[in-house]
Amino acid sequence: MTFHVEPKFMVISNSSEVIAIRRIAKEMAHDIGFDESAREEISLVVSELASNIIKYGQRGMITLTPVCNEQCEGLMIEAEDDGDGFNEHTSMKDGVSTSGTLGVGLGAVNRLMDEFDILQREDAAGTRIVCKRWLHDNSNHGLHCPFEFGVFSRPKLNETANGDTFIIKNIRGATLVGVIDGVGHGELASHAANAARQYVERHAESSLLDIFRGVDRACASTRGVVMALVIFDWTNGTFRYASVGNIEVKVFSYGNEKPKFIVRRGIVGKHAPSPVITENIWHSGDILALHSDGISTQWQWHDFAQYADYPAQVIAEHIYNAMQKDHDDATIVIVK
């Protein structure tokens, strides 16, 4: 066991701290028992996450924690940013993300880690990434997540509490992605959205129907939420979709038949009807966008086709910039 390995954390605000936390991660990986190539990969991940934090003059924190499950030991890496890097008045150059959110350049991180989640911080506007690497590959049956993600979420203008939230979570050969919009805006909407997200996080391995039923109970004493969840199966190239209320979904699929979605009306937490689960094929090159109603639905993939080859984070921010509405919380998640 690795009881002797202590967790470590470091505030990251400059490049010397990036180098320092990278070295600490490498030493900790050594103490836990990772071989040399795994140690290199872990230090690369930590370096990538820490560099992302300071890329736009932000501050954040990296926390390294030894962990164990029933089968083996591992290392958990958490990265948080303060979310202040995005400036609506900053013009976005093609292909260059202006956002300070951690969603940038995470493809390598996602591939090198066994578990990888992106969450919105509850206490701040920023993003929180949690990833784990196990000593022995026992979590994903040797598979690596084939997706890349981009996210952007911010509260209504002049509000501090965000009534929207999102989740991106890898679980045993599948990825769960969701956008949740608490009814209204402000603190009470945020409370409802976070209650829903926490339930989804803790029951991510349940069926979509059970998750929706559970969130309906978990949000009963709140204002309620509208929610869309997608589960991507890495092994058979399909994805399942379930939605109650007005979360928008759009899939870009070059030359393929459009996937079908059925959306139920209602509010989860207020005796919502069960969602209708649809299963569609995911083709290589497909891009999925999921967004709340703080982003107008009046767009087509055709309008953003020139960004199809760009990182998911860049696509998320281009759509956000073009279609966002000031008077509502706005959240978009891109999967490609």
Q: Determine contact, residues 188/140, Cβ cutoff 8 Å.
A: no
Closer residue to Mn ion in complex, CB, 185/318 = 185
Pairing of strands 60-68, 238-244: unpaired
Task: Give, as ranges, the residues between 90 and 149 that touch Mn ion (CB under 5 A).
Answer: none
Write down the least CB distance from residue 330 to Mn ion, Å: 8
d(CA 319, CA 332): 8
Instruction: Report the residue from 18, 328, 334, 335 that binds Mn ion according to the rule CB under 5 A.
Output: 328
Write down the least CB distance from residue 189 to Mn ion, Å: 8
Choices 76-84, 100-108, 176-184, 213-221; region in contact with Mn ion by CB under 5 A: 176-184
Write out the two tokens for 324.
Answer: 């966002």
Closer residue to Mn ion in complex, CB, 280/324 = 324
Choices 13-21, 53-61, 178-186, 203-211; region in contact with Mn ion by CB under 5 A: 178-186
Task: Give, as ranges, the residues between 291 and 310 that touch Mn ion (CB under 5 A).
Answer: 293
Closer residue to Mn ion in complex, CB, 148/328 = 328
Q: Does 248 bind Mn ion (CB under 5 A)?
A: no
- Three-state DSSP at 53 gives helix
Write down the least CB distance from residue 335 to Mn ion, Å: 21
Q: Determine contact, residues 208/177, Cβ cutoff 8 Å.
A: no
Instruction: Report the residue from 80, 114, 181, 286 that binds Mn ion according to the rule CB under 5 A.
Output: 181
d(CA 71, CA 79): 25
Which residue shows structure tokens 């978990």? Answer: 218
Q: Determine contact, residues 228/197, Cβ cutoff 8 Å.
A: no
Closer residue to Mn ion in complex, CB, 62/183 = 183
Write down the least CB distance from residue 26 to Mn ion, Å: 43
Distance, first Cα to last Cα, the chain? 38
d(CA 158, CA 192): 20
Q: Determine contact, residues 128/80, Cβ cutoff 8 Å.
A: yes
Is residue 179 within a helix (H) or strand (E), and if so which, with residue range? Answer: strand 174-182
Closer residue to Mn ion in complex, CB, 100/182 = 182
Choices 48-56, 77-85, 119-127, 323-331; region in contact with Mn ion by CB under 5 A: 323-331
Fill in the DSSP letter of residue 200: H
Closest CA to 290 of 109, 168, 207: 168
Write down the least CB distance from residue 137 to Mn ion, Å: 40
Choices 38-46, 50-58, 180-188, 233-241; region in contact with Mn ion by CB under 5 A: 180-188
- The binding site for Mn ion (CB under 5 A) comprises 181, 293, 328
